[in-house]
Amino acid sequence: MSYTEVPGARVPIRMWADPATVEPVAMQQLRNVSTLPWIEGLAVMPDVHFGKGATVGSVIAMRGAVCPAAVGVDIGCGMSAVKTSLTANDLPGDLSRLRSKIEEAIPVGFSMHDDPVDPRRLHGLPTAGWDDFWGRFDGVAEAVKFRQSRALKQMGSLGGGNHFIEFCLDEAGSVWLMLHSGSRNIGKELAEYHIGEARKLSHNQNLVDRDLAVFIADTPQMAAYRHDLFWAQEYARHNREIMMALFQDVVRKEFKKAKPMFEPVISCHHNYVAEETYEGVDLLVTRKGAIRAGGGEFGIIPGSMGTGSYIVRGLGNEASFNSASHGAGRRMSRNQAKKRFSEQDLAEQTRGVECRKDRGVVDEIPAAYKPIEQVMEQQRDLVEVVAKLKQIVCVKG
């Protein structure tokens, strides 16, 4: 489908979702965003749903301003995937050992490494700029600096919620490694600090929703936020790089006889800010639950833990600010899912996947998400499919 434009908004709200299927509270959030004086345009992805301040699944383009709540609290959250030389014929019948080895190598949930991971000891991981990256931590908000020790130990760890590590097969039988994570607790702390600072500023006092408080260009507050924002986005990228290197080490050891090789890693943020130019205007483009899909650019759009995911190539549709969805998108809250579904439901919906099937992950049951095939159909003018993946091992926090 192509987009539908929402009538009556101050700036174009272009929707790649059926407006009739979007929650009224999410539609109101979209209209609220469109009232901001600094906004130039808003693109809405097919996986759109209610979020804090701004919906998840929206792309907000502003001139000379940025809204921290429109980035999301997991700054830099995103995906990484890599195709391997392994095929289905190389796999054992029982994949439980592989899942255990992944969980041993990569901390999940609230866990972290006992000691910081030294990237120089990981096979093939580039380390240029590593010391400079950590040196720039000295410039982050004073209120968060005491978290450095934890940030060091959480680097290369998964977290919980909808974050995952998966061992997948594509339709040709090739093995892919894929993972989803972000900037861990340090990104959340920085996001919450700056959202609080933005709410105090005088120009934000009369907004229709105070959660949409913005920083304005050429102010000390904007400069401080930009420093911490881009640092946290880099942290998230490094976090996924280290996890992928650890994941590859596990695969090398577990499939030693097959001597696995790995293609270049595909990586993309889906909670972040980028400086981009459209029709000659320099804009700050916020993607909250959306990936960049510029012409020829690779991206990753995951489904739920029992359905599958897509590797895609962007079509460069400027009406969407070169964007596409970040996944299937939730169709019910975590609490609703826990009340509605049982462990037996989870086991049935994840049949054939080596994964947790206990009460602790029922809120991630596939039925809590929109059908990924429907989401992909609604954005045919945004991306083309390169590969369809189906997980056979899924590690959750």
Establish whether 326 is a catalytic residue.
yes
* Secondary-structure percent of the chain, ordered helix, strand, coil, rounded to 5: 40, 25, 35
As a whole number of angstroms, the distance between CA 68 and CA 221 comes to 12
Return the CA Rg of the chain.
Answer: 21
Distance between CA 93 and CA 70 in Å, rounded? 44
Q: What is the DSSP letter of 179?
A: E
Distance separating alpha carbons of residues 91 and 193, to the nearest angstrom: 46
Residue 48, sorted as left (phi over 0), alpha (psi -120 to 50) or beta, turns out to be beta
**Which of the 8 DSSP states describes residue 155?**
T
**HSE-CB of 2 using CA atoms within 13 angstroms:** 4
- β-pairing, 354-355 with 383-396? parallel
**Hey, which residues are catalytic here?**
326
